[in-house]
Amino acid sequence: MELFWYIVLMTMLAIYVILDGYDFGAGIIHLFFAKTEKDKKAITNAIGPFWDANEVWLIAAGGVLFFAFPTLYASSFSGFYLPLIMILWLLIFRAIGLELRGQIQNKMWESIWDKAFGISSFLLALFFGVALGNVVRGVNLGNVVEGVSTHEAHYFFLPLWNPTFSPQAEQLGILDWFTVLLGIIGVVALTIHGANWIIFKTNSDINEKLKKVVFNLNFVLLGLVIISLLVWHIIEPKPFHNFLDKPWLFIFPIITFTGLFGLFKVRSFQQHGKGFLFSSLFLLGGLTSTVASIFPKVLPSTNNINPDLTLYNVAADEYGLSIGVYWFAIAVVLVAVYMVIQYRVFKGKMDDVGYGEH
């Protein structure tokens, strides 16, 4: 049952990254590339009917984490308390930036909430990439100091950064050069993803410009991915051991690079949805490849005193996990019906939706 709920959790997170990821990317495009009011309206129209529903997947994933893996929930929500609060505030400002902009027709008012929406989207993309980097790198479980565990084995707490900015320090921080690298990858990947969604859902004049942006940023993304794979050896001596032991896992890196190399043809796609498909494949493949590389770990320990947290030693009781399957089946049906209705109602181009107008 632990494996079943782990797959459920990872599936929810993957769906969240793909769906809310294009919202973050659209916000970054809005911040850096939307120069006219017409372009800004096209971007908000593209995500307007979807962004709040997309965030539900993050809440659902948190609920599954609380129910199925309570020890991991307790450990991570206390250890990552500071960045989680920052993410919460960024989610709030991104939402009110979208909702309050159209309340008053005033240039200063609109500019303030445009910046709130764009900067929050940028920082959210960065912080979620950094979060993935923290999981890959691991944390100092038990808060070991000079070989002595000062807290219980699953406890940790991280400041925003440490003085050395090193991922190999005994006392780690949220930010170091490795986690920031993954954060930058997150920003670039989600910018591409958001641009592809805008191209898919609008006939805006900005679309041709966005195709060039996607093509150029894809070279940056490829370079960053190669660098991350090379420096991974510094963090984990045998980062690809799971793939060598179970060759079928190579399907996930194949998905990643299929999406990455497919994006180089974005300027020639006649069907606007193809770019979004390839960026979705990259995000899906990147997340699943990362998860597969550390499996069955869910939060590695950077010391030799306390063991890694794995899906087996952080899971709830077998009885509770079994009963939860029935409720999960009901929830899946309800969510599926909602998603089908939502995307059927808002299928096609969104240029004339008029989201946020009052």
What DSSP assignment string belongs to 140-178? Answer: -TT-EETTEE-S-TT-----SB-TT--TTSSS--SB-HH
Angle at 253 between CA 247 and CA 254, to 5 degrees: 90
- Would you tell me the crossing angle of helices 318-345 and 51-68 to the nearest 10 degrees? 170
What's the rounded mean pLDDT across residues 189-194? 94
Peptide bond into 247 cis (omega under 30): no
Q: Is 124:187 a contact under the CB 8 Å cutoff?
A: no
**Has residue 358 been placed in a domain?**
no
Q: Where are the beta strands (DSSP E) in the chain?
A: 144-145, 148-149, 297-299, 309-310
The reported pLDDT for the residue numbered 106 is 77
Q: Exposed (0-12), middle (13-18) or buried (19+): which is 23, by Cβ within 10 Å?
A: buried
**Has residue 184 been placed in a domain?**
yes
The reported pLDDT for the residue numbered 100 is 82
**Has residue 356 been placed in a domain?**
no
Confidence at 356, pLDDT banded by 50, 70, 90: low
**Has residue 84 been placed in a domain?**
yes
What's the rounded mean pLDDT across residues 200-206? 85
CA distance 38 to 290: 39
Among 109-123, 156-170, 215-229, the least confident range? 156-170
Looking at every residue in the chain, the average pLDDT score rounds to 87
Domain count, the chain: 1
Confidence at 216, pLDDT banded by 50, 70, 90: very high
Residues in the chain: 358
Confidence at 10, pLDDT banded by 50, 70, 90: very high
Highest mean pLDDT among 61-65, 266-270, 343-347: 61-65
Q: Is 228:182 a contact under the CB 8 Å cutoff?
A: yes
Confidence at 271, pLDDT banded by 50, 70, 90: confident
Confidence at 351, pLDDT banded by 50, 70, 90: low
The reported pLDDT for the residue numbered 328 is 85
**Has residue 353 been placed in a domain?**
no
- Judged by DSSP in three states, 298 sits in strand
Residues of the chain above pLDDT 90, percent: 33
CB atoms within 10 A of CB 113: 20
What range does the domain containing 186 cover?
2-345
Partners of residue 145 on adjacent β-strands: 148
**Has residue 204 been placed in a domain?**
yes
Confidence at 357, pLDDT banded by 50, 70, 90: low
Q: Is pLDDT at 358 greater than 60 in this prediction?
A: no
What's the rounded mean pLDDT across residues 181-203? 93
What's the rounded mean pLDDT across residues 268-275? 82
The reported pLDDT for the residue numbered 217 is 94
Q: Is pLDDT at 30 greater than 70 in this prediction?
A: yes
Task: Dump pLDDT digits (tens) for 70-101.
Answer: 999 988 888 888 888 999 999 998 888 888 87
**Has residue 332 been placed in a domain?**
yes
CA distance 282 to 253: 9
Q: Is pLDDT at 355 greater than 70 in this prediction?
A: no
**Has residue 355 been placed in a domain?**
no
Burial letters for 296-332: b for 16+ Cβ neighbours within 10 Å, e otherwise? ebbbbbbbeebebbbbebbbbeeeebeebeeebeeee
Q: Is pLDDT at 147 greater than 90 in this prediction?
A: no
The reported pLDDT for the residue numbered 54 is 86
